[in-house]
């Protein structure tokens, strides 16, 4: 590309506010979206705004609500052949024009008034219970009568069908419409957004049903893996820029580098959601597993691809908030591993044998990530705050009988870590505990501690150790507390290494004090690791990472009840 | 392409016996496949043959059956994370290696031993019946408790899930496998093939469940419409040749013409069944609605596309016997109509107003078919045979009291038609009735009647009239008896014209005495026509076609009881 053309392109706004007329897609981290219900959906404001422009009175709102409700009813109740694209279009457009409050009202109507015909269910249950199931004692005497069996299966099927909510018809019919699947993800994003305001059982049931349907429609076999390159249409590249959630793309040169030599970008596409990936992954081909994101994105020039032995997944972003909870990333990573192997035949793919080596200079193909630890600082700061409070309470009431509180108290710092912190912060910290000092240093979003060598060297040991503890030991319902950790562990990865000052961006410092983690996928162990994590919550990790918490484990067994 | 290259290509066998290692896809007419269960699946012999090659003893058969059964059990019973591609692959390959008898045994096992846990269903029904449904009287007094509702919805969902057969797990898991969807269509083709041998209620229930799943996975929105051209890979074009079922492609020049100027070929593809269309349609851009297939395929040179005002659908073929009963053609035709309109903007798209005109020289865009009438001769010959027999019986027993038989007797020929037939066949026909003569003339597959002008002119009037009657009046369960007619009518077409000597091929003469029919799709009437056909069995037709049977209608009302 010549300089002039590039200069023109550079003027383009890199992050347009909205890309399609639904104007609903917020930018946010894939993993946060995939693994938990997304908060604060932008659709709220946009939808509101949109409606405010068009109908300025409450009456108009009411009228348009009734019209959309009517068209929704038509889509559901018309017979099969009557439901043409025009009826579906009318509903789609009507819905998208509604304010968020009216969407909410409509979805609640759908959840409550279009669920089951329970009188019919009860009638069919009565019929069903009146029949002897096949193979039961009453039948086992002779050959079973095919006529009787047909009746039995028919009634069983009728009962099964009667237990499907009426709104399934709406979902199924929308799914046949060219824009239907995209629209269903918008509806689901709205539902999730409503549910964050408070639980509504009927809507929760609808959401779980819709999620099941979306999961089966978005089977990985129905998705197409496409390598995104600099030759792709600008309209597609624009979306990569828009949706990249982990390491924002700052300008076109940055984008071009991510699609150039030594780099790969793969997206999963579905034919019913054309021209935008549902999820995409960015890969760097390197000699070794990178320790910092700076070296991947900016500092190191790309190496010759023939020299690469490591495929580093450094970013994975999903684009549809309405697909939260549907794990497409797992399949994407597996397919990308397969593809890279085919693509780079010069790399021998000898599985490593025996116990995990802590040498990172493996001569074999390595598939690793360089991942954020989005929940670390949040966990650490709240731990520091609550423990500091408990410590104070202990000081005051140490003579009292209130000893029950002490069972929750834990000095999360090692004695030498505490000493180093007190020493490094000098007079300012007089009389304060190590945890208080740490809390005070880490809380300000100015991150001044990163400018002082003394503070850096005092903070590094406890931060790295506590980060290892957070990743390997802090759990919720038997699964890793950190959403990205949980994502990779359930996909069958192991925790390989944690890296100091690996992401010095504002976001990196806020999320994890700049620490990043390498997860490693060993193709030969993926299924085994996923399985033991799933069934026993076992987190595989390298000796390097385990070592951080080995002393802490010993202390814990001494100190805790 | 130069002459040498073409000459080399010409040597290629146009209809390879099998295209993939499953070796299961028989060639057959799309409509027969889509609309009725396909008979005589080739897989039977191929599967048998395959197994005979590999394991020569019965013991081996038994052993391999047990191995596949075991791997099927693994796929179903393993927990989610354990089911990797290797387990699925093992089952896929194992199944494809089984003999047809062993496939049959396996599918019966699946249908009978992996359906429902009916003890669990009964337990959940008990729990469910113990709860007051939301909105019932007991609850209407106050605000409904969200906690109670959550419990209710949870138990309702559990009941719904317990009513899903266990084999759904197998289908869902196969669907996530890259080759799974293709494999499921193979399983379904086997099931249909087994069911033609005799009804088995449990297998019928499994088939209906699998068909439901396939229908939702193959939503038209998930299919990609691709225009197939001479620039496509030979491996794809080979499949078009292989699967073309209506008008076989005789050589490469024939194929090239069908993809060249004034022609279009569109296929529906699914990403999980790559490199072969599920269904494809061939279109000719013409000035007028063609009357004969000869002029479309061979006789007339293509016109300049800018002069075309008619898009003629002259062939539609589906490729997967396992998708029988899933109407993809309907969506394909609709999308192709839309595409052709966009593609040919010079044509004004003014909807015709008022009553259907019988002038075919419309200046507007016309979407029509030139279709076979696959069931006409079969219906006519059996009608002629049974009526001739009844006529004889009447002669013998006219004096007896056996009058009930007479109510079924109908001379399907008009008096002048009968006279003309007797005259034309001379001495050979002495003493025979018109229907007997007609039966004798039409039965031999040598079709000698087509060589005699005298016979042609005697046969044309009754054949055309009876063909119109067959298309417009002969029904089965309220739907057109002819499968192709039923297909287009349910899609919203009308019967526009029947054409004498329109397909003089062996197949055309066998199926319909060479008669073909034009159905017309009027975009503005498609939904209305489909609807009235669906609900009232109403068949829309032009005055031209109706005219053939108007006298017959009058006679019928006089003669019949």
pLDDT in tens, B494-520: 999 999 999 999 999 999 999 999 999
Give the number of A-B residue pairs with CB atoms closer than 8 Å: 148
Query: Which residue is closest to A135 within chain B, CA to CA?
Result: B112
Cβ pair B163:A164 closer than 8 A: no
Dihedrals phi, psi of A264, to nearest 5 degrees? -140, 150
Cβ pair A160:B163 closer than 8 A: yes
Q: Which stretch of A122-126, B336-340, B377-381 has the lowest confidence by average pLDDT?
A: B336-340
Alpha-carbon gap: B102 to the closest alpha carbon of chain A (Å):
22
Q: Is B488 a catalytic residue?
A: yes
Q: What is the widest separation between alpha-carbon atoms in chain A?
A: 94
Enumerate the residues of chain A whose CB falls inside 8 A of the CB of residue B80.
534
**A201 and A99 share a domain?**
yes
Alpha-carbon gap: B519 to the closest alpha carbon of chain A (Å):
19
Enumerate the residues of chain A whose CB falls inside 8 A of the CB of residue B271.
221-224, 271
In a domain, A11, yes or no: no
Rg, Å, chain B Cα set: 28
Cβ pair A205:B157 closer than 8 A: yes
Cβ pair A217:B220 closer than 8 A: no
In a domain, A326, yes or no: yes
Q: What is the distance of C-alpha B475 from the center of its chain?
A: 17
CA distances from B7 to B2, B12, B355, B544 (A): 9, 9, 53, 47
Looking at per-residue pLDDT, the higher value among B368 and A221 belongs to: B368
Under the banding of pLDDT at 50, 70 and 90, the label for residue B57 is low
pLDDT in tens, B123-159: 999 999 998 887 765 544 445 688 889 999 999 999 9
SS3 A290: coil
CA distances from A260 to A225, A254, A276 (A): 18, 10, 20
Of A157, A179, A527, the CB nearest to B205: A157
Enumerate the residues of chain B whose CB falls inside 8 A of the CB of residue A175.
216, 219, 221
pLDDT in tens, A14-27: 444 333 333 333 33
- The answer to whether residues A182 and A25 touch, using CB atoms and an 8 Å cutoff, is no
Instruction: Give the 3-state secondary structure of B504-560.
Output: CCHHHHHHHCCCEEEEEECCCCHHHHHHHHHHHCCCCECHHHHHHHHHHHHHHHHHC
Domain range for B295: 221-316+331-347+361-369
**Residue B266: per-residue pLDDT:** 96
Nearest CA to A301 out of A261, A336, A270, A354 is that of A261
Distance CA B278, CA B413 (A): 43
Q: Which of B38, B315, B371, B541 is catalytic?
A: B371
Q: Which of A61, A247, A488, A540 is catalytic?
A: A488
**B309 and B427 share a domain?**
no
Query: Which residue is closest to A125 within chain B, CA to CA?
Result: B125
**A507 and A391 share a domain?**
yes
Torsion angle of alpha carbons B46, B51, B56, B58, nearest 10°?
-110
Q: Which of A137, A153, A177, A210 to mutate against chain B (most B CBs within 10 Å)? A: A153
In a domain, B311, yes or no: yes
CA distances from B46 to A195, B50, B51, B58, B96 (A): 55, 6, 9, 18, 10
Distance CA B399, CA B404 (A): 13
Enumerate the residues of chain B whose CB falls inside 8 A of the CB of residue A124.
none
Enumerate the residues of chain A whose CB falls inside 8 A of the CB of residue B486.
none
In a domain, B524, yes or no: yes
**B524 and B547 share a domain?**
yes
Cβ pair A221:B272 closer than 8 A: yes
Q: Is B86 a catalytic residue?
A: no
Q: Which of B50, B61, B247, B488 is catalytic?
A: B488
- The answer to whether residues B258 and B265 touch, using CB atoms and an 8 Å cutoff, is yes
Of A81, A224, A526, the CB nearest to B530: A81
Enumerate the residues of chain B whose CB falls inside 8 A of the CB of residue A134.
112, 202
The CA-based angle A53-A54-A60, given to 5 degrees, is: 125
Q: In the 8-state DSSP scheme, what is residue A541?
A: B
**Residue B3: per-residue pLDDT:** 53
Of A146, A217, A534, the CB nearest to B81: A534
What are the CB-based long-range contacts (under 8 Å, 24+) for A125-130? A125/A159, A125/B125, A125/B128, A125/B129, A127/A155, A127/A159, A128/A155, A128/A156, A128/A159, A128/B125, A129/B122, A129/B125
Enumerate the residues of chain A whose CB falls inside 8 A of the CB of residue B116.
156
Under the banding of pLDDT at 50, 70 and 90, the label for residue A79 is confident
Burial degree of B130 (CB within 10 A; 0-12, 13-18, 19+): exposed
- The answer to whether residues B508 and B484 touch, using CB atoms and an 8 Å cutoff, is no
**A437 and A554 share a domain?**
yes
Looking at per-residue pLDDT, the higher value among B321 and B145 belongs to: B321
Torsion angle of alpha carbons A270, A274, A275, A280, nearest 10°?
-20
The enclosing H or E element of A111 equals helix A100-113
Distance CA B285, CA B311 (A): 5
In 10 A of CB B336, how many CB atoms?
23
Query: Which residue is closest to B174 within chain A, CA to CA?
Result: A221
Cβ pair B216:A163 closer than 8 A: no
The CA-based angle B540-B544-B548, given to 5 degrees, is: 95
Cβ pair A150:B201 closer than 8 A: yes
**A175 and A287 share a domain?**
no
Q: Which of A25, A371, A424, A433 is catalytic?
A: A371
pTM of the model: 0.79
- The answer to whether residues B94 and B68 touch, using CB atoms and an 8 Å cutoff, is yes
Calculate what percentage of chain B has a pLDDT beyond 70: 79
**B289 and B388 share a domain?**
no
Alpha-carbon gap: A162 to the closest alpha carbon of chain B (Å):
9
Distance CA A367, CA B213 (A): 36
Q: Which of A138, A271, A273 to mutate against chain B (most B CBs within 10 Å)? A: A271
Enumerate the residues of chain B whose CB falls inside 8 A of the CB of residue A488.
none
pLDDT in tens, A436-470: 999 999 999 899 999 999 999 999 999 999 999 99
Dihedrals phi, psi of A544, to nearest 5 degrees? -50, -45
Nearest CA to B385 out of B427, B464, B448, B438 is that of B438
Looking at per-residue pLDDT, the higher value among B491 and A393 belongs to: B491
In 10 A of CB A181, how many CB atoms?
25
Of B84, B200, B530, the CB nearest to A527: B84
What ipTM score was computed for the predicted complex, to two decimals? 0.78
For residue B39, pLDDT beyond 50: no
**A65 and A109 share a domain?**
yes
Calculate what percentage of chain A has a pLDDT beyond 70: 79
| DSSP secondary structure, A55-97, as one string | --SHHHHHHHHHHHHHHHHHHHHS-TTT--HHHHHHHHHHHHH
For residue A360, pLDDT beyond 60: no
Domain containing residue A96: CATH number: 1.20.140.90
Cβ pair B527:A84 closer than 8 A: yes
Q: In the 8-state DSSP scheme, what is residue A105?
A: H
CA distances from B2 to B6, B7, B12 (A): 6, 9, 16
Cβ pair B79:A156 closer than 8 A: no
Q: Which residues, other chains included, contact B46 with Cβ-Cβ below 8 Å and sequence gap of 6+?
A: B18, B23, B24
In a domain, B397, yes or no: yes
Beta-strand pair B366-369/B310-318? parallel
Q: How many domains does chain A have?
A: 3
**B343 and B384 share a domain?**
no
**B386 and B520 share a domain?**
yes
In a domain, A148, yes or no: no
**Residue B354: per-residue pLDDT:** 41
In a domain, A57, yes or no: yes
**A398 and A539 share a domain?**
yes
**B402 and B365 share a domain?**
no
Half-sphere exposure of A131 (CA within 13 A, CB side): 19
Nearest CA to A153 out of B202, B162, B211 is that of B202
Distance CA A339, CA A354 (A): 26
The DSSP bridge partners found for residue A317 are A280
Domain containing residue B414: CATH number: 3.40.630.150
In a domain, B106, yes or no: no
Helices A453-473, A543-559: axis angle to 10 degrees equals 80
Alpha-carbon gap: B121 to the closest alpha carbon of chain A (Å):
10
Cβ pair A82:B176 closer than 8 A: no
Of B146, B176, B205, the CB nearest to A153: B205
Alpha-carbon gap: B181 to the closest alpha carbon of chain A (Å):
8
Please give the average per-residue pLDDT across A49-64, as a whole number: 61
**Residue A137: per-residue pLDDT:** 54
Enumerate the residues of chain A whose CB falls inside 8 A of the CB of residue B79.
531, 534-535
Among A174, A196, A217, which residue terminates a domain?
A: A217
- The answer to whether residues B126 and A128 touch, using CB atoms and an 8 Å cutoff, is no
């Amino acid at each position: 590309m010549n300089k002039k053309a590039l200069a023109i392109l550079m003027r383009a706004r890199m992050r347009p506010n909205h890309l399609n007329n639904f104007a609903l897609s917020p930018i946010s981290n894939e993993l946060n979206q995939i693994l938990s219900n997304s908060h604060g959906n932008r659709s709220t404001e946009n939808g509101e705004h949109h409606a405010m422009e068009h109908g300025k009175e409450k009456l108009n709102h009411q009228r348009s609500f009734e019209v959309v409700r009517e068209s929704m009813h038509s889509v559901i109740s018309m017979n099969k052949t009557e439901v043409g694209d025009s009826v579906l279009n009318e509903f789609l457009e009507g819905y998208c024009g509604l304010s968020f409050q009216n969407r909410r009202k409509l979805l609640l109507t759908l959840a409550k008034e279009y669920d089951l015909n329970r009188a019919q269910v009860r009638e069919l249950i009565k019929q069903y219970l009146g029949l002897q199931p096949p193979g039961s004692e009453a039948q086992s005497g002779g050959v079973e009568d095919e006529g009787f069996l047909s009746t039995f299966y028919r009634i069983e099927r009728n009962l099964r069908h009667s237990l499907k909510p009426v709104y399934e018809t709406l979902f199924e019919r929308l799914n046949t419409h060219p824009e239907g699947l995209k629209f269903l993800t918008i509806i689901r994003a709205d539902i999730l957004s409503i549910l964050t305001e408070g639980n509504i059982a009927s809507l929760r049931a609808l959401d779980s049903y819709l999620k099941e349907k979306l999961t089966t429609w978005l089977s990985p076999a129905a998705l197409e893996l496409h390598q995104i390159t600099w030759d792709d249409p600008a309209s597609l590249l624009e979306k990569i820029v828009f949706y990249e959630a982990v390491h924002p793309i700052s300008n076109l040169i940055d984008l071009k580098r991510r699609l150039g030599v030594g780099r790969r970008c793969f997206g999963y596409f579905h034919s019913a959601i054309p021209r935008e990936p549902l999820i995409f992954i960015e890969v760097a081909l390197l000699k070794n597993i990178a320790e910092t994101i700076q070296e991947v994105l900016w500092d190191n020039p790309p190496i010759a691809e023939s020299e690469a032995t490591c495929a580093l997944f450094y970013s994975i972003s999903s684009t549809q908030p309405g697909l939260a909870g549907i794990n497409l990333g797992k399949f994407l990573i597996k397919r990308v591993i397969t593809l890279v192997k085919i693509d780079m035949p010069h790399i021998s793919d000898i599985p490593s044998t025996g116990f995990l080596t802590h040498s990172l200079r493996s001569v074999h193909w390595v598939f690793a990530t360089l991942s954020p630890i989005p929940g670390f600082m949040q966990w650490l700061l709240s731990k520091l705050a609550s423990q500091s409070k408990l410590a104070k309470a202990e000081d005051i009431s140490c003579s009292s009988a209130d000893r029950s509180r002490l069972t929750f108290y834990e000095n999360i710092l090692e004695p030498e870590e505490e000493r180093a912190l007190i020493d490094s912060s000098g007079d300012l910290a007089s009389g304060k505990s190590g945890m208080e000092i740490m809390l005070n240093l880490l809380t300000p979003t100015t991150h001044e501690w990163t400018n002082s060598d003394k503070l850096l060297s005092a903070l590094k040991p406890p931060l790295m150790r506590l980060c290892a503890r957070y990743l390997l030991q802090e759990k919720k319902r038997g699964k890793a507390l950190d959403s990205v950790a949980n994502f990779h562990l359930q996909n069958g990865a192991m925790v390989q290494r944690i890296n100091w000052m690996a992401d010095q961006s504002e976001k990196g410092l806020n999320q994890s004090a700049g620490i990043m983690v390498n997860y490693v996928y060993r193709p030969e162990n993926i299924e085994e690791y996923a399985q033991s994590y799933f069934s026993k919550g076992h987190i595989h990790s390298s000796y390097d990472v385990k070592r951080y918490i080995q002393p802490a484990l010993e202390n814990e067994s001494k100190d805790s009840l």
